[in-house]
Chain A
Amino acid sequence: MGAEENRYAFNSNTFDMDGVEIPFKDGQTIMDAALAAGIYIPHLCHHPGLTPHGSCKLCMVDIGNKCMSSCTTPAVAGQQVSNNTPVLNEARKTITQLLFIEGNHLCPSCEKTGNCTLQAMAYFLGMLDGHFPQFFQRREVDASHLTVMLDRDRCILCELCVRASREVDGKNVFAIAGRGVTAHLVVNSPSGKLADSDLETSDMAAHICPVGAILIKEHGYEIPIGRRTFDLHQVGEIGLEKVIQAKARHTNE
């Protein structure tokens, strides 16, 4: 009886998502409550434990007549939320296409292929092509660091590395600079080079990149096709972050 009481005290509030009643704690976002309940909302820039960012917009849900980012919107008791609808998933596919055409996402030549969350998202949403004209932007590659390299062509500005570096180890290595379509990832070192930063391969920031923008040097194509993260898993599985993080770390790195 005591445990039962506790459970109700903890989850005193619920909201409705796609007809399922989801419990939440006060102040919890819709995203965190849904994930805790084992329900997936597509997302790229959200990572449990890091401050929500709200840049990728894949996690948008319908609340009443409004479309909101579920990673930044607090849950409210009795809310009616739509998540897994054809209209929302089609909009999410369009956003994913925009991310693909904005950078140079040439999967056949990328080390991250098969382990890339953006690519897995595109598979999940059934994206066949980029639909829009390619930007073919030219961005700087920073290979100055001894063990980590930065290919800005693939960066989707999710700020996961920025937040991991700021919030987890306090090194504050990364930031986003520039405005509009020229926004890009920069390194907070006097020279702007990765070599002059405190970044180490043991940092979460060196491994959290969901795409092939931050890569560990001298480790490429080590996992056989068929055994890569998204050969074995779907992006919609709950708690996949641990699997992705474990796979991103190499022995002897």
Chain B
Amino acid sequence: MSKLRIATTSLAGCFGCHMSFLDMDERLVEFLEHVEFDRSPLNDIKNCGPCDIGLVEGGLCNGDNVHVLREFRANCRVLIAVGACAINGGVPAMRNHFDLSACLEESYLNGIGVENPQIPYDAELPLLLDKVHPIHEVVRVDYYLPGCPPSPEEFMSVLGDLLEGREPVLPKKLLHYD
């Protein structure tokens, strides 16, 4: 039996969802007998190739996030929004209460202890979006894995269903948003 190919990425995420994924602990060993990783922060693959499952944590806060998300959507058969940020923008979306310029000025010009104040503008740097967005506002999402972060049991439940070719159904006792 060929292994399922899984890609993962963190956009405007905190890597907490990836840590929670790794909290499967020793269950990861058996899991890895059924899957192999495509592009992921856990390996060195630079671009996402054709995959069965894409796990996306984090919302969209800059142009690079949108680019990566579109690469994932184009290559992943099943795309899963993982965690509160990918689902509704999460805590980073609290910046939507403020003008982007006000945020940048507070951080890079007027902040306490700032030396040589200037707002970074090198072409290497992705431009911030005006607002933080959930990923479903840019691409179609197949499944949602709520939580901040989702528990390892949630990952196992949904990925287990997909591995066995079932429609993922998250048991209500695993459902939480915090």
Contact = CB atoms under 8 A, between A and B. Distances in A.
Contact of B176 (A101, A110, A123, A124): A123
A107 B89 contact: no
Provide the main secondary structure of the chain A interface: loop
A100 B94 CA distance: 15
Interface stretch (A63-71, A131-139, A183-191): A131-139
Interface in B161-178: 170, 172, 175-178
Contacts of B146: 128-129
A136 B93 contact: yes
Contacts of A136: 89, 93, 96, 131
Contact of B177 (A101, A119, A124): A119
Contacts of A107: 84, 148, 177-178
B172 A106 contact: no
A106 B96 contact: no
A129 B143 CA distance: 9
Provide the main secondary structure of the chain B interface: mixed
B94 A106 contact: yes
Contacts of A108: 84, 90-91, 148, 177-178
B148 A134 contact: no
A134 B88 contact: yes
A113 B178 contact: yes
B142 to A, nearest CB: 11
Contact of B172 (A110, A114, A126, A138): A126
For chain A, give the interface size range: 20 to 34
A44 B145 CA distance: 25
A189 to B, nearest CB: 25
A235 to B, nearest CB: 11
Interface in B82-116: 84, 87-91, 93-94, 96-97
Contacts of B144: 128-129
Contacts of A129: 81, 87-88, 136, 141, 144, 146
A101 B91 CA distance: 14
A3 to B, nearest CB: 41
Contacts, number: 69
Contacts of A130: 87-88, 134
Contacts of B176: 123
Interface string B124-162: 000000010110110001011110100000000000000
A122 interface: yes
Interface string A108-122: 111001100001001
Given A106-B84, A108-B84, A128-B170, A134 B89 contact: yes
A134 B93 contact: yes
A28 interface: no
B93 A106 contact: yes
A104 interface: yes
A104 B93 contact: yes
A105 to B, nearest CB: 8
Contacts of B84: 106-108
A139 to B, nearest CB: 9
Interface centre among B136, B146, B178 (most CB of A within 10 A): B178
Interface of B: 81, 84, 87-91, 93-94, 96-97, 131, 133-134, 136-137, 141, 143-146, 148, 170, 172, 175-178
